[in-house]
């Protein structure tokens, strides 16, 4: 495994493998089994002849809360060990001054999918995501990239970016990786208090119950109301949003034959967790 900390080092490492399949796994570090799963899937996609590139970069531009950025865990040595164990060929670990010019003045903004869910709660977040991912695409020039479905809205927006900007990359969405108790794996989980960590699996239990209710004919309002009530019953938990939307365009469901998405964001104390589940009606 090779590492690069500058754009020049990255280009030099990838120059000999241009023309081969290159699979990118973008991360912000503090890697866990969810990230490891993405890297192992990337290894399979790349095959013996291709290359897997993982980026480890805590992107300040996508944080709307300075406190959240400061509290985000960073474990570079452990991250490198995880990348090595998962068969990553190149790890790109830049610093903010490498990724961004001090007088940068170009932004990227999606104006439809990003107006709801996390986009409505975190102004500027997805503009920062689109900017950094587009830069990584330009630097790595991958044939493929893998993103987890836990960040479902992010994946939808990046698919729109690839489509609208004609970026020659195939995006792959990987299923959510969960702990034995159902909690979606997240780098933020380590910041939960013991009581909130014990209560956090309530999110997934409520989502699964909602999926069964929706399949049986429950209304979107009833489904969301029940999930919100489950979360509000936990001491110190504040739902940010509980919304049922069309899984593709992330807006109100207008055709119940299409797949829907039930998405949740909730503060457990000061830690914001997100989760989601795809829903279908029984025919």
pLDDT tens for each residue of 56-102: 999 999 998 898 999 999 999 999 999 999 999 999 999 999 999 99
Residue 127 shares a structural domain with residue 242: no
Quickly list DSSP for the chain.
Answer: -EEESSHHHHHHHHGGGBTB-EEEEEE-S---HHHHHHHHHHHHHHTTTSEEEEEE---GGG-S-HHHHHHS---HHHHHHHHHHTT-SEEE---HHHHS-TT-------SSGGGSHHHHHSTTHHHHHHHHHHHHHHHH--SEEEEEGGGHHHHHHHHHHHHHTT---EEEEEPPPB-TTSPBP-GGGGGS-HHHHHHTTHHHHHHHHHHHHHHTT--HHHHHHHHHHHHHTSTTEEEEEEEEEETTT-S----TTS-EEEEEEEEETTEEEEEEEEE----
Residue 170 shares a structural domain with residue 191: no
Q: What is the pLDDT of residue 270?
A: 94
Query: Half-sphere exposure (CA, 13 Å, Cβ side) for 50?
Result: 17
Q: Please say if the pLDDT value at position 201 is more than 90.
A: yes
Question: Is residue 150 one of the residues assigned to a domain?
Answer: yes
Proportion of the chain above pLDDT 70, given as a percent: 100
Residue 91 has φ and ψ, to the nearest 5°, of -115, 125
- Tokens, residue 229: 């009530």
Q: What is the pLDDT of residue 65?
A: 87
Q: What is the pLDDT of residue 282?
A: 87
Residue 56 shares a structural domain with residue 111: yes
Q: Please say if the pLDDT value at position 178 is more than 80.
A: yes
35, 125, 196, 251: the catalytic one is: 35
Residue 169 shares a structural domain with residue 196: no
Proportion of the chain above pLDDT 90, given as a percent: 96
Residue 168 shares a structural domain with residue 257: no
Question: Is residue 283 one of the residues assigned to a domain?
Answer: no
Q: How much is the pTM?
A: 0.96
Question: Is residue 282 one of the residues assigned to a domain?
Answer: no
Q: Is 35 a catalytic residue?
A: yes
Q: Please say if the pLDDT value at position 283 is more than 90.
A: no
Q: Please say if the pLDDT value at position 250 is more than 70.
A: yes
- Between the alpha carbon of residue 45 and those of residues 39, 83, 197, 229, 243, the distances in Å are 10, 16, 34, 42, 33
Tell me the mean pLDDT in the region 227-237: 97
Cβ–Cβ under 8 Å, residues 266 and 204: no
Residue 165 shares a structural domain with residue 210: no
Residue 89 shares a structural domain with residue 116: yes
Structural domain span for residue 12:
2-174
Per the prediction, the chain carries an average pLDDT of 97
Q: Which residue has the tokens 């593709």?
A: 248
Residue 50 shares a structural domain with residue 89: yes
Q: What is the pLDDT of residue 64?
A: 87
Question: Is residue 18 one of the residues assigned to a domain?
Answer: yes
Question: Is residue 43 one of the residues assigned to a domain?
Answer: yes
Residue 68 shares a structural domain with residue 159: yes
Total structural domains within the chain: 2
Question: Is residue 182 one of the residues assigned to a domain?
Answer: no
Residue 11 shares a structural domain with residue 141: yes
């Amino acid at each position: 495994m090779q590492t690069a900390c500058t754009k020049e080092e990255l280009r030099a490492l990838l120059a000999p493998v241009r023309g081969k399949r290159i699979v990118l796994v973008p991360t912000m570090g503090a890697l866990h089994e969810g990230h490891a799963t993405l890297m192992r899937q990337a290894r399979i996609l790349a095959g013996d002849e291709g290359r897997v590139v993982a980026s480890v970069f805590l992107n300040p531009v996508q944080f709307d809360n300075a406190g959240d950025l400061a509290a985000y865990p960073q474990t570079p040595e452990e991250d490198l060990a995880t990348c090595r164990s998962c068969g990553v060929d190149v790890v790109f670990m830049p610093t903010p001054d490498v990724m961004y010019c001090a007088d940068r003045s170009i932004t990227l903004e999606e104006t439809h999918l990003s107006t709801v869910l996390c986009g409505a709660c975190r102004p500027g977040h997805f503009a920062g995501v689109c900017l950094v991912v587009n830069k990584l695409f330009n630097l790595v020039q991958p044939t493929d990239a893998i993103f987890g479905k836990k960040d479902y809205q992010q994946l939808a927006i990046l698919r729109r970016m690839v489509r609208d900007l004609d970026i020659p990359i195939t995006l792959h969405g990987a299923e959510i990786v969960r702990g034995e108790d159902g909690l979606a794996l997240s780098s933020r989980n380590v910041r939960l208090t013991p009581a909130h960590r014990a209560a956090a699996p309530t999110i997934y239990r409520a989502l699964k119950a909602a999926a069964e209710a929706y399949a049986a004919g429950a209304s979107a309002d009833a489904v969301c109301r029940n999930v919100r009530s489950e979360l509000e019953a936990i001491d110190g938990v504040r739902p940010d949003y509980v919304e049922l939307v069309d899984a593709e365009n992330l807006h109100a469901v207008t055709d119940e034959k299409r797949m829907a998405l039930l998405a949740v964001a909730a503060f457990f104390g000061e830690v914001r967790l997100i989760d989601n589940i795809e829903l279908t009606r029984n025919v």
